[in-house]
C-alpha cells in the first residue's frame, strides 16, 4: 500500500512540474544556463537607434511583444525557429518586451524559459510608450505583436502587426537580403 | 483594348476610394455613423447620441488584459461625466467574444454604459481601430475630437497623462478642442478573415 502511495505521489509531483520544465532542453532550463533568459537588458531610445544604425552587415528583425498578448505567445515558437534557421546567416533576431521591470522575473523570464529562447531579448525602458511606438513607425498604433525588419544599412523595409508564421517572416527577411544583394 | 483601359480606370478609381475611406476620418475630421445592437439586442446608431456634448466610443474587450486593466477607470469616467453631457459607448469587435460573454463581463465589472457588439468588425474597419482599449471622442456634429488611449499607463498608479479626461474636461467647460491623437500598447482587435 505504501509503495502504491509513493508511486502516486511521484506521478502527481512530476505532472505538476510539467509546465515549468517543458520538453526540449529541460536540463539547460533547470540549470539556469540559458544566457538569453538570464541577460535581458533594458532598451531605451539611444540603444534602439544604435541597434538599428550599427548593423555590421546584418539584417535586423525586431519583434515587440508581451506575455499578456496571446498572439505574441502563439507566435513565439516561430521566432525561435527563425533564430535557429538564421543562426550564422547575417540576420539578427531580436525580441523587445514591453512589460514592467518588476514583471521581468515573475512573467517574462519564466515565459522565455518555457519557450527555450535562443535569441537576444530586451525589456523596454523608454520614457513613454508613445516614444517607442513612434520611433519604430509613425503608422503603428501600438497593437501587439509588431515586427520590424531593417536591412544592413538600417533602413526599415517591413512593418507587420499581428501574429505571423515562420514562412511569412522568412519570406520577408529573404526579400530584404535579396533587395540589398547580400 | 478600350475595355482594358476602362477596367484599369475603374480599378484605379476603386482603389483610390478605398484608400480615402480608410484615412478620411482623421484627415477630414468626420466620423462614420453606424448601426449596432447592444448585448440586449437593442439597436443603436451614432446619431442616437447627437443631443450630447460629446460621445466617447471605446473599443473594448472581455479577454484583453490591457482593456481589463481599464475596467474600473472606464466605469469611473462614465460615472464622472454621464451627467455632464458626455455619452459613453463601448464597442466589442473581437470575433471570439459573444454577446453573452460581453454582458457577463459588463455586469461583473460594473460597466454601466451601452456596449455594442460589432459582428464581423465592420465598425472597427470603418474607424480603422486596431487595439483594445482604443478611444474616439466625437462631438454632436460627428466631428472627431480625440483618438487614442484613455491614459498613458496600464497601471493606474503610474499614469502621468490623463488624456481622455483632459479632453472631456475641455468639452464640459465649452473650451475649444483641437484634434489630438495619442498611442499606447494594446491587444490587437481579433478580426474575422475577409
Q: What is the pLDDT of residues A27-77, one digit of tens each?
A: 334 435 789 998 999 999 999 999 999 999 999 999 999 999 999 999 999
Say whether A172 sits in a helix, a strand or coil: helix
In this prediction, residues A101-122 reach a mean pLDDT of 96
Give the torsion sign (CA, A83, A88, A89, A92): positive
> Which one of B65, B131, B155 has the shortest CB-CB distance to A141?
B131
Pair B4, B48 in one domain? no
Predicted confidence band of residue B50 (pLDDT cuts 50, 70, 90): confident
B79 shares its domain with B145: yes
Angle between helices B163-172 and B71-81 (to 10 degrees): 10
Domain match, B19 and B35 both: no
| pLDDT at position A174 over 90 | yes
| Structural domain contains residue B170 | yes
Q: Is residue B194 part of a domain?
A: no
User: Has residue B10 got a pLDDT over 90?
Assistant: no
Interface membership of A104 toward B (CB under 8 Å): no
Same domain, B10 and B95: no
* Cβ atoms B66, B185 nearer than 8 A: yes
The reply to whether B95 and B172 lie within a common domain is yes
Reduced to 3 states (helix: H, G, I; strand: E, B; else coil), residue A68 is coil
> What residues of A are in contact with residue B131 (Cβ under 8 Å)?
141-143
Residues 6+ apart with CB under 8 A from A157: A149, A150, A151, A172, A175, A176, A179
Which of B65, B130, B182 has the CB atom closest to A143's CB atom?
B130
Cross-chain residue pair A130–B152, CB shorter than 8 Å: yes
Question: Residue B19 has what pLDDT?
Answer: 44
* Residue of chain B minimizing CA distance to A146: B188
Tell me: do B56 and B102 sit in the same domain. Answer: yes
Q: Is the same domain home to B66 and B23?
A: no
| Residue B85 lies inside a defined structural domain of this protein | yes
Local structure of residue A145 (DSSP, 8 states)? S
Report the predicted TM-score, pTM, of the whole model to 2 decimal places. 0.81
Q: Are residues B84 and B179 in the same domain?
A: yes
Residues B57 and B7 in one domain: no
Residue A181 has pLDDT above 80, yes or no: no
Residue contacts between A and B (CB atoms, under 8 Å): 52
Residues B24 and B113 both lie in one domain: no
Query: How do strand B144-148 and strand B134-139 relate by DSSP bridges?
Result: antiparallel
Chain A residues with CB inside 8 Å of B185's CB? 66, 98, 129, 133, 142, 144
**CATH, residue B73:** 3.40.30.10
Same domain membership, residue B130 and residue B58: yes
Instruction: Name the least confident of A148-157, B18-27, B161-170.
Output: B18-27
Residue B24 lies in a domain: yes
- With respect to residue B193, please indicate whether it lies within any of the assigned structural domains: no
Contact B65 A161 (CB under 8 A): no
Specify whether B105 is located in the same domain as B51. Answer: yes
B30, pLDDT greater than 80? no
B45 vs B33: CA distance, rounded Å: 7
Q: How far apart are CA B148 and CA B37, in angstroms?
A: 24
Mean pLDDT of B156-180: 96
Distance from CA of A146 to the nearest CA of B (A): 10
What fold, for A34-179? Glutaredoxin (3.40.30)
- Provide ipTM, 2 decimals: 0.80
- How many independent structural domains does chain B possess? 2
Q: Which residues of B touch A140 (CB under 8 A)?
A: 183
**What 8-state DSSP symbol labels residue A32?**
T
Return d(Cα A158, Cα A168) in angstroms, integer.
Answer: 12
Q: Which domain holds residue B83?
A: 31-188
Phi–psi pair at A85, nearest 5 degrees: -65, -40
Q: Do residues B168 and B136 make contact, with C-beta atoms less than 8 angstroms apart? A: no
Residue B65 confidence (pLDDT): 94
Identify the band that residue A112 occupies on the pLDDT scale cut at 50, 70 and 90: very high
Interface residue ranges in chain B relative to chain A, Cβ cutoff 8 Å:
63, 65-66, 130-131, 134, 149, 152-153, 155, 182-189
| SS3 state of residue B53 | coil
Check pLDDT > 50 for residue B86: yes
> In which residue are the cell numbers 493606474 written?
B156
Note whether residue B180 is domain-resident: yes
- What pLDDT was estimated at residue B18? 45
Which cell numbers hold the place of A67?
506575455
Burial of A33 (C-beta count, 10 Å sphere; 0-12/13-18/19+): exposed
Amino acid at each position: 500500500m505504501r509503495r502504491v502511495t509513493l508511486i502516486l505521489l511521484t506521478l502527481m509531483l512530476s505532472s505538476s512540474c510539467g509546465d515549468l520544465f517543458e520538453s526540449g532542453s529541460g536540463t539547460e532550463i533547470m540549470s539556469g544556463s540559458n544566457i538569453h533568459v538570464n541577460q535581458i537588458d533594458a532598451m531605451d531610445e539611444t540603444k534602439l537607434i544604435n541597434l538599428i544604425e550599427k548593423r555590421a552587415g546584418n539584417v535586423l528583425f525586431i519583434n515587440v511583444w508581451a506575455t499578456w498578448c496571446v498572439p505574441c505567445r502563439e507566435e513565439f515558437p516561430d521566432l525561435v525557429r527563425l533564430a535557429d534557421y538564421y543562426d550564422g546567416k547575417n540576420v539578427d533576431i531580436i525580441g523587445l518586451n514591453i512589460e514592467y521591470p518588476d514583471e521581468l522575473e515573475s512573467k517574462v523570464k519564466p515565459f522565455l524559459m518555457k519557450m527555450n529562447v535562443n535569441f537576444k531579448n530586451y525589456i523596454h525602458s523608454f520614457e513613454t510608450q508613445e516614444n517607442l511606438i513612434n520611433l519604430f513607425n509613425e503608422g503603428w498604433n501600438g497593437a501587439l505583436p509588431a515586427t520590424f525588419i531593417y536591412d544592413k544599412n538600417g533602413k526599415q523595409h517591413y512593418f507587420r502587426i499581428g501574429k505571423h508564421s515562420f514562412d511569412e517572416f522568412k519570406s520577408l527577411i529573404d526579400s530584404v537580403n535579396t533587395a540589398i544583394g547580400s | 483594348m478600350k475595355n482594358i483601359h476602362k477596367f484599369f480606370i475603374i480599378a484605379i478609381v476603386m482603389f483610390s476610394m478605398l484608400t480615402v475611406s480608410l484615412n478620411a476620418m482623421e484627415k477630414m475630421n468626420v466620423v462614420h455613423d453606424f448601426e449596432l445592437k447592444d448585448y440586449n439586442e437593442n439597436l443603436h446608431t451614432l446619431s442616437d447620441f447627437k443631443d450630447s456634448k460629446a460621445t466617447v466610443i471605446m473599443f473594448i474587450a472581455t479577454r484583453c488584459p490591457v482593456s481589463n486593466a481599464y475596467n474600473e477607470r472606464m466605469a469611473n469616467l462614465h460615472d464622472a461625466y454621464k451627467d455632464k453631457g458626455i455619452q459613453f459607448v463601448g464597442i466589442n469587435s473581437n470575433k471570439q467574444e459573444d454577446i453573452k460573454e460581453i454582458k457577463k463581463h459588463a455586469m461583473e465589472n460594473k460597466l454601466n454604459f451601452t456596449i455594442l457588439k460589432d459582428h464581423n468588425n465592420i465598425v472597427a474597419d470603418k474607424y480603422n481601430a486596431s487595439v483594445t482599449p482604443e478611444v474616439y471622442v466625437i462631438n454632436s456634429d460627428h466631428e472627431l475630437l480625440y483618438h487614442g488611449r484613455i491614459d498613458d499607463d496600464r497601471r493606474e498608479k503610474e499614469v502621468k497623462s490623463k488624456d481622455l479626461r483632459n479632453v472631456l474636461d475641455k468639452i464640459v467647460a465649452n473650451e475649444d478642442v483641437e484634434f489630438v491623437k495619442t498611442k499606447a500598447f494594446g491587444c490587437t482587435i481579433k478580426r474575422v478573415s475577409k
